[in-house]
Each structure stands twice: as C-alpha cells, then as structure tokens.
A and B are shown apart, each in its own frame.
Chain A
Amino acid sequence: MKPEGQALVQAKDLAMVFDVSAPWLNRVLERKPRTLLHAVDGVSFEIQKGKTLALVGESGCGKSTVAKLLVGLYEPTRGHLTYDGLDAHAIFKTPAGLKLRSRIQMIFQDPYASLNPRWRVEAIVGEPLIEHGLVTEPEALKERVAQLLTSVGLSALDMAKYPHQFSGGQRQRISIARALATNPEFLVCDEPTSALDVSVQAQVLNIMKDLQRDLGLTYLFISHNLAVVRHVSDDVGVMYLGRLVELADKESLFANPRHPYTRMLLDAIPKMHDTGQARTPVIGEVPNPLNPPTGCAFHPRCLHANQRCREVRPELHEFQGIKIACHAVEEGRI
C-alpha cells in the first residue's frame, strides 16, 4: 500500500545523457574524446494527484527530455521515477509495463505531425483502445470513440473524417481525445498550445482545465510561455541547461521570483498593458550544453555572480517554502 499523502509522480535525481561523439574511427584517427550531452542533469520533483506541474525554460534546457523520461520513451541514465509508489522504469520492461503505460499518456506539440494523415479519426482515437485490449467489439469501439470526441467538444460524426479536414485547434483536440482513450490518470503535455493561434489556444486550455476538474487528471505541462503556465499550473519548475533552478507554487513564483534566471524570464515577457515601457535588458544567450559553464550554469549571464558561483555548482535546496538553486539567494545577497 502506498503511504498516505504520497505524490502520484515522484522524480528523483533524473538524468539523461546522450552520447553525441564522433564515429569511432574519427575518434581514433583525430584523437577526439567522447562527447556527452547532459540533456537532463539531476532533476527531482513531485506532482500531487489532480495537480499541474509546469516546466518552463528556453529551448535546449531539457524540458522535452523530461517529458519523454516520464512517459518511458527514454530510459534515464541515472535516477528514479516513482509512479503511484512503483518504480516506473523497472516496470516498463516487464509485461506489467503495458498496464502502467495506459495510465500515463502524452500530448505532443505539433498536431500536424502527431496524427497519421492516412488514418481516419476513428482509427487514431481507437488505436490505444485496441492496443491495450480495452475494447474488442467494433460497435463498442465506435461508441467509446464517439464519447471521447464529444468530451473534447467535437462531434461524433467527425470520426469518419481524416486529420486534414480539421483545423489546428480541432486536431489538438483529437490528440487529447486519443490521450484520454485509456482513462489515464497522468497526462504529459509537451507544449500543447505552442503551435496554435491565441483564440484557439484559449479553447484548448479551457478544455484541458475542464477535463482536469471532471476526471481528476494530473498534468505535467511543458511550455515556454509563462503567461500560459500561470494560467494552468499549480506548481512551476524553471529549468536552465538541464537542471531545475527554481521550483515553487505558482503564487510565490510569479509574485516573488527569487532566482535571477526566473526574474530575467519574467522581465523578458512583453507586457500587454503598459505600452511603451522599456524592459530591463536581458544579457547574453543560453550557453552551449556540450560545454556548460563551471559552477552555476547561469553565472555568465547573472548580475549577482561571484567567485563561489563560478566554481561551485548550487544544488536545489529548500528555502523559505520554495526550492531554489542559487548561492546568492541562500547567502542573502539578493
């Protein structure tokens, strides 16, 4: 039995290292060392049942790799993922893995690429039902697909159509219907609205919120858009170069961002309502992850960096109710 109050999803020190070395012969002839890309480097978080954790960060910070680790598309190089008290990656390898996979589903970013253009919607949404042996009768399948389509605001008649007959927002609803087919508890959403226009984005976000309320879903929501994150999440994790730099509940993070990188990100968002006001200039760019800076990865862009920041890598620690990886904040310098 799982202990009372235990989080549904617990990631402990998850790490994913990709080997991006040159081919063997080149390494030998040109005396090149192996090159390792630390895409995710020791990420720990928990998600309570029915809650939404959002991960934000710029491209290349490892957000999507975390998503793929959580659904079992990648096996972590280090660390553990505990799902409902079970060691998820150990179970994925056993026959019981199929059952576990049906409880975790994923929604992808690009609704134009994630739906097979030669399949009818019925086959797309019905595939997980057949794959997991949940429905065997063709009549029952039609009924269940119709029910799923209605739940995301599409019509049951849409199941006879092909993906190209739908707009971007409708396609994303089909992806959501497909993800809901196996009655999952946990949805990993990798930039689900980034490819959509704002008015359509609002439709999809509203549906996702309604479904969470009605079905008690738990979300990991990945986005680079902080305004969207603020709208959907309960907790927010900010990632930079493969590590979490700040993890806090939504209210604290947006009202009182502590990490200099979080502050920079928030500053960088164009504000809708005070027009003409200049923002604090953002300095520098994201470093190359193949050759990350020593110490704190953010120090070359940080106004508060000192010798310690350049040498010692800060760990993610509890600090005044939030979690943060910053020497300056812990020392009280900012």
Chain B
Amino acid sequence: MSLLEVKNLVVEFPGRHGTLRALDDISFSIAPGEILGVVGESGAGKSLTGAAIIGLLEAPGRIASGEIWLEGGRIDNLDFEAMRHIRGKRIGAIFQDPLTSLNPLYTVGRQLTETIRAHLPVSAREARERAISLLNDTGIPGAQARIDHYPHQFSGGMRQRVVIALALAAEPKLIVADEPTTALDVSIQAQIINLLKTVCKQHGAAVMLITHDMGVIAETCDRVAVLYAGRIAEIGPVHEVINHPAHPYTAGLMAAIPDMTQDRARLHQIDGAMPRLNAIPAGCAFNPRCDRVFGKCKEVRPSLMQAQVTQAACWLNEVAA
C-alpha cells in the first residue's frame, strides 16, 4: 500500500477576475521509504503541491476537489487542529531558507526538544538526549555543545542540517523537502543531499523532494514527476524520464540543461514561456510551445497515459500505442 496517495488534486485561488486553477488534476503516490522528485519551472505548482499535502495552503488558496490520503486515512479534509498533530509527527517539512525556518530567539536545542515533546511522550531529559543524537546523525560536530547555540551561530549548511534534524525529530513517515539545497553553495549542496538521502533511509522516512535542479533529482530520487502549468506532464522512474522522456516538454527540458559531459554549440531552447494561470490554452497546456503539436493537442486535454515505461500526458503516446 502506498504511504501517500494524492488523487485528482485541484487547488484554486478565487480572485476578483475569476478563479485561477493553480493545480489541475494532480494524482500520484509515494511508497514507504521512496524518494519522489517533483521538478518544474517556477510557477509550475511544485511548492503548492507540497503545501497542499502538509496543509499549509495560504488563503485564499484552497483545495477545490480531490483527495489526499496518508497511510490509509484521508487528511485533506481535516481541521487545522487535527492537521497540526499530523504535521511534524507524521509529515515533516524542510524549506528552502534554513535561516527563516528556525526561530532566532530560541536555542537549537529548545526548538528540537519542543518539537519532540509536542509529539512524543518523553521526559525533558530523554528529549534532550534524542535531540543530541539527531544532531549527531545529521553530522553536526560537537553536538553536545552545539545544542545550546542559537541559529545565528551556525553557518548556512549547518543550519540546514539542524532543519533536517528538526524535520526528523518526531520520526515522521514522510518528509516534504521544498528546495532544500537551493540556498546553499554547490559544495555544501552535495553534502546536504547525501545527508538527506542517508538519514531518511536510516530513519525509514519517504521523501517528496521538490526542486528545479534536475541534477539533484537524478542523483537522489527513485521516481520523478515533471510539472507544467499546474499539471503533471510526465511521471516515472528517474532513469527513464531523463534518458527516454515520453513528453516533448520533458525532452526539451533535458536538452536545455547544459551538460558536463558533452559540448554543444547551442543549447536546445523551448521558445516562449510557461503560460500564466489566467491564460492556459485549451487542450494540452504545452501545445503553443510544442514542436510536435497536432490537431487534437489544441482541443482535448490529455490525461496521463502509459508510454513505454513512464506515464506522460501527451497524445503522441496514444498514437504510438
């Protein structure tokens, strides 16, 4: 059974000039212990998907339809109080900027023990011991002493380690990591990605890794979902999506990334830009930029269909099948 099941999720933002559909019919699942990557350009709906799952959609955004199931229980219709017990306990979260996700007025230890004691029935002393062992697990040298330091006394990479420790504090089954390495330097980024991977395996947590960096996805994830204009364009095992993309958008995206292993005079470019939410074209959202577009693409919206190994929302795969 899958750990997380998202079914036909639609997120809307009602506004003065009509309702904007930011996520449109998103369905996917995450198995226990699996790392699912969610990739896409800015505004594609990556972070919104994460926010909807942890129940932190900002008003006026709301889940208009669809369901989210965690370990066999529905969580999208829970009230704020019930959701508060799930957040942290069963779903941990890691955000992009480690400085703003820590409270600058509390020591790291206090923030960790507070989280642990809010969710687990342990004494103050046990909570502290647990906090120290978490800091050790995340590779913070001298955890015994560092636990009483404030966030500003840590460097960017160290802070992100603290945030990961915080996300793991109550042993959640799922961690939603939204651009966890984007604010960090390349050399630190490699350390944090490795850490996230090993620590989550060690603690048995599944990860939903949201990022725009395809390299990070390639190295970390088991499966990947490619988002475009609030819809899933393609989803499947990482190797397949990267090496044999079945959706023209995925193919274009892969070719647009400068490669370290081969020289090209020009990069492949996808002309135009992603449509705004109030001007999503009829049919396939990608059709105005697609170089393999045909009649049906402009009229009927494709849903995810089986391509060779991956699933892609593209009519070309219907023709092929």
Contact = CB atoms under 8 A, between A and B. Distances in A.
Interface residues of A, number: 43
Given A198-B214, A279-B194, A273 B269 contact: no
Given A231-B267, A268-B190, A270-B219, A58 B256 contact: no
Contact of B219 (A169, A197, A275, A286): A275
Contact of B190 (A199, A205, A273, A282): A282
Contact of A226 (B42, B190, B260): B260
Contacts of B194: 278-279, 281
A275 B266 CA distance: 25
A268 B213 CA distance: 14
Given A198-B214, A266-B260, A272-B260, 19 more contacts: A199-B252, A199-B253, A202-B268, A205-B258, A226-B186, A227-B257, A228-B258, A231-B264, A265-B186, A268-B186, A269-B215, A270-B190, A270-B213, A270-B215, A270-B216, A270-B218, A271-B219, A273-B261, A279-B219
B238 interface: yes
B188 A285 contact: yes
A277 interface: yes
Nearest to B238: A275
Given A271-B260, A273-B242, A206 B218 contact: no
Contact of B212 (A168, A197, A225): A197
Given A169-B273, A205-B267, A285-B188, A230 B258 contact: yes
B100 interface: no
Nearest to B271: A203
B299 to A, nearest CB: 25
Contacts of A225: 258
Contacts of A135: none
Contacts of B189: 268, 270
Contacts of B263: 230-231
Interface string A278-311: 1101100110000000000000000000000000
A313 interface: no
A251 to B, nearest CB: 9
B264 A276 contact: no
A264 B190 CA distance: 10
B202 interface: no
